[in-house]
Structure 1
Amino acid sequence: MICPHTRAQLPRYSSHIATSQGLPSRGEAWAIDGPVRGLAPAQWQWPSRPIFFISDAHADAAAFDASLLISGGVQWVHNDLQLTREGREGLFVIGGDCLDKGPSNLALLRRVRRLMALGASVKLLAGNHDMRLLMGLRALALPASPLTDHLFVRMGAKAVPLLREVFDSYLSGASLPAWVPDADECRRRLLPADRWFREFPRAAAGLMPPLAIDKEVKRLREKRDTFEDACALAGLDIRAVYATAHHCLQLFCEPEGEFHWFFRDMELVHQEGAFLFLHAGLDDTLASVLARKGSACLNRLYRHQSHHQPFEFYYGALANALRTKYRKVDRPLSEAGVRRAWQQGIRAVVHGHRNRLQGQQLTLRQGLLHVEGDVTLDRNSRRKEGLSGIGAGVTIIRPQGQLIGISRDYPYAKVFSADSIAHVRSPRNQAAP
């Protein structure tokens, strides 16, 4: 449907989606936070196909379904998803954090896989919660080391719902396998020993700033001391946790595992036209790699480090793309970094990670437009934030030069058009290409 107020093409919501009530049927001009000044629209390369960005579903399969259905790229036919014409032509970018919090980790993963099986083009981006699972599972298969012995318990209580789901789906109703050791040995293998708190600072010296090391040690002591209790509250003793963790290792990391595709297909960044997609944000180091070698090189570095050098990845520059919130403690994005991004044709960063309560938000950071697309989908976060119902939200980028943010928590579709770009400033000292 065409909104007369913005001339935006809004998607036609499926009548089978329970959350359709209250979804916006009118658009409004999408305002940008921060001062702006001139940039010609011709300098932007809009994607040649529709893009549907959905991020931070956090194991809420119902919210993910709702977001797909309001995108206009998917409809519900005969109790199953079906791609629309626009969905067949477009690209679905899953912006990370599919896992943790609950209530339906496995159902959400199977829904993403179903979307792929329908023939949809899907880009699956790494989120910090997703990578915490991968790091924790890979640590189980590595030789003992103060740099990796803590990575399993570092997942913390937020990973317990996934462990419970895997236990219920694959291990409940029978005795634990004979190879599962006694409780004390399981504890020794899963949790960092007291000596880890002395050894880690020495091993990490020179690889992490001293303040970051101190903070990590403090965080890990709390996580270690509370992890077993969190599992017990979910009905899992330490032996069940050990057996479940090794089953997760098979499911996610072995080639024959049901969810092996999840980390195999995952990428750190994706660029389409002037838009760079990633989970959290950009910094000067990442922008420099992008300018010199492009997104393919960045993804190769991510794949190698995340699979073979878990400590170097998780505490290094690449992981800033998963966790930055542009705080003082994060790696900086300066105007020099933005100029490098411009050299690669990047004019906007589309990301999740920072949850918003009233729909998507546009922000200028050093002259680079940021599209913040985490609209609080999962019901556990919604309950904490005072939001009701099932979350639903999608950010749509159309080849005609329209950027549309739709959320069930905001009464209007937010529309940013090619005409609006005349108000976005270029980074200082950057000549127009």
Structure 2
Amino acid sequence: MQNPLPKVSKRPQHKDIIARLPKKWTPWPHDKSSCNAAVREPHEAPNNKYWKKKVYWPKKPVVFISDPHADATAFEASLIGAGLAERRSKKDGLCKYRLTKVGKKTEIIIGGDCLDKGPSNLDLLRSVKHLYRLKANVTLLAGNHDLRLLMGLLAIARKKDVGNQHLFVRMGKKVVPLFREVFDQYLDGKKWDKKIPDEDTCRKKLFPGDEWFNEFPFHAAGFLTAEGIDREVRKMESKSHSFEQHCRDAGLSLRQVYAASLVCQKLFLHKKGEFNWFYRKMELVAKRGSFLFLHAGLDDTMGELLLKNGTKYANKAFHKNLQRRDLFGFYYSSIANTFRTKYRDADLPLTERGVTAIHRAGIKVVVQGHVNRDEGQRIAIKKGLVHIEGDVTLDEHSRQQEGLDSYGIGATLIDKKKGVVGISCDYPLAKVLRPKELHNIYA
């Protein structure tokens, strides 16, 4: 299914983007916004010999841009701000940028969460697709918001069971703008309601039954921690009560939401769908030198899988599991934990055993999105593992909620000559961690 009315809008000029970025750099600061307490305070190095081995940097420069969350303006501004792209004309709108010489020599890793929040999911997806048209070296990683949509679409396409019947409503209010966009661009003004059932039938198709709340804790036993089961049930109690109201607030009935979801199935899941490439090109992890790029984090099981089988196997397992009939088994697995975890008690655990396995696999640093920061990138030691947090709050919706101005601009450069460089419009200086300084994190 092709978009009948391509949306074109003006983008900020090159000079305006550059004017909002830092002009000078500083050695990576040790303030609270740039390092967590484990980095700022004396901290013992990992208790294994593998951490002490040489750090290998990516063979070519990598620029990590994460969590654009449906904001094509911020995404394109970040490409331009990182020196990867430029626009030919002041009048150029969406998808009119081209790669610079630097952009052609750099790997661009998109760290997940292209969807949800706003202002436009479809604009953002078309902007990312433009990178592929330009034959850029792009790696697209899976984010939790991206996979939530896929789980919701697959759930309503399959027979209901205890493990999957909550996955549509579980997407919550942040997915509603996408259904609004899809309805407006593909259904409005057409006879969309011809084969759509009545409101009550749509509600039954989209929502979990009352029995789900009693049955799910038993179904999830042995898969989730006790904290995880309790968190899931409480989350669904809240979302089941509020989801329909969020739809109404967006001007959508449940019939319209159901109709839009069927269009989304065609757009994302069918071979000829406009966004069929999105999940097909997606990867779970990318290892470049001693750096592992992913959306959220790791657990013991994933650490051992990476040690024994490597990242190529992990990415293949990710896609194989997406084809499984058992959505529950996938979404609550260690694979999915990789784009969902925040190292809470409710998440699958990462212990010293897992960290040792990760270091044995030649991974020294995890580069992640998922945890948004409002003063640029942050280095954190979590569970004994070094993380570079690269979600610098790009999307307009989140920035409004956090009191930040305008659209976001930010990118993280990983380069064997320059080290780790964090640029953000919300921090006055570019943060630089030189290659020789990485081990000093534990000093």
Contact 1:280/1:325 (8 A) holds in 2: yes
SS at 1:103's partner residue? coil
For residue 405 of structure 2, what is the amino acid of its counterpart?
S
Q: Is 1:26 the equivalent of 2:24?
A: yes
Shift of 1:183: 1.3
Displacement after TM superposition at 1:178 (Å): 1.8
The answer as to whether partners of 2:227 and 2:345 remain within 8 angstroms in 1 is: no
Q: Residues of 1 paired with 2:73 and 2:99: CA distance?
A: 18
Q: Unaligned regions of 5+ residues in structure 2, if any?
A: 1-11, 30-34
Residues 67 and 370 of structure 2 are in contact (CA less than 8 Å); yes or no, is this contact kept in structure 1?
A: yes
CA shift for structure 1 position 17 = 4.8
Deviation at 1:280, TM superposition (A): 0.8
- Structure 1 residues 32-431: aligned runs within 5 Å: 32-33=35-36, 34=39, 35=42, 43-78=54-89, 79=92, 80-308=96-324, 309-425=326-442
Contact 1:50-1:86 at 8 Å conserved across structures: no
CA gap 1:229/1:17 in 2 versus in 1, 3 angstroms: farther
Contact 1:186/1:239 (CA < 8 Å) preserved in 2? yes
- TM-score w.r.t. length of structure 1: 0.91
Decide whether aligned partners of structure 1 residues 169 and 421 sit closer, same or farther in structure 2, where only a CA change above 3 A counts. same
User: Taking structure 2 as the reference length, what is the TM-score of the superposition?
Assistant: 0.89
- Counterpart CA distance in 2 for 1:364 and 1:196 is 38
Q: 1:243 to 1:64 in 2, by over 3 A?
A: same
Cα-to-partner distance string for 1:6-60 (whole Å, 9 max, x where unaligned) = xxxxxxxx96253322311110001454235789998111111111100111111
Cα 1:146–1:366 change in 2 (3 A) is: closer
Tell me: CA distance 1:20–1:311, structure 2 relative to 1, closer, same or farther (3 Å). Answer: same
Q: Distance in 2 between matches of 1:209 and 1:364?
A: 23
Task: Give yes or no for contact 1:176–1:243 (8 Å, CA) kept in 2.
Answer: yes
CA distance in 1, matches of 2:317, 2:140: 16
Residues 150, 410 of structure 1: alpha-carbon distance in 2 compared, 3 angstrom cutoff: same
Q: Which amino acid aligns with 1:360?
A: Q
- 1:177 Cα deviation after fit: 4.1
Distance in 2 separating the partners of 1:224 and 1:307 = 27
Structure 1 residue 299: Cα displacement: 1.2
Report what 1:5 is aligned to: none
Alpha-carbon distance between aligned partners in 1 of 2:227 and 2:53, rounded to the nearest angstrom: 45
Counterparts in 2 of 1:290 and 1:40: CA distance versus 1, 3 Å: closer
**AA matched with 1:65:** E
Aligned twin of 1:431: none
Question: Shift in Å at residue 168 of structure 1?
Answer: 0.5
> CA offsets per residue over residues 65-102 of structure 1, 9 Å max, x none?
11111111111124221111121111110001110011
Which range moves more in the overlay, 73-82 or 381-390? Answer: 73-82
Asked if the contact 1:105/1:162 (under 8 Å) is kept, the reply is: yes
Q: Does the residue aligned with 2:335 lie in a helix, a strand or coil?
A: coil
The root-mean-square deviation of aligned C-alpha atoms, in Å, is 2.0
Q: Using the alignment, how far apart are the partners of 2:349 and 2:223 within structure 1?
A: 18
Give the 3 Å change call, closer, same or farther, for CA 51–41 of structure 1 in structure 2. farther
Check 1:192–1:15 CA distance in 2 against 1; reply closer, same or farther (3 A cut). Answer: closer
Q: Is contact 1:63-1:391 (8 Å) kept?
A: yes
Asked if 1 retains the 8 angstrom alpha-carbon contact of 2:372 and 2:391, the reply is: yes
- What is the percent sequence identity of the aligned residues? 47
Paired residues in the alignment total 413
Q: Which runs of 5+ in 1 are unaligned?
A: 1-13, 427-433
Q: CA deviation at 1:330?
A: 2.6
Deviates more, 1:152-161 or 1:33-42: 33-42
**Alignment-mate amino acid for residue 64 of structure 1:** F
Secondary structure, aligned partner of 1:20 = helix
SS of corresponding position for 1:322? coil
Deviating more after overlay: 213-222 vs 338-347: 213-222
TM-superposed CA distance for 1:61, in Å, is 1.0
With over 3 angstroms needed to count, the CA separation of the structure-2 counterparts of 1:267 and 1:85, relative to structure 1, is same
2:180 and 2:440 map into 1 onto residues whose CA distance is: 50
Rounded to whole Å, the distance in 1 between the matches of 2:273 and 2:388 is: 35
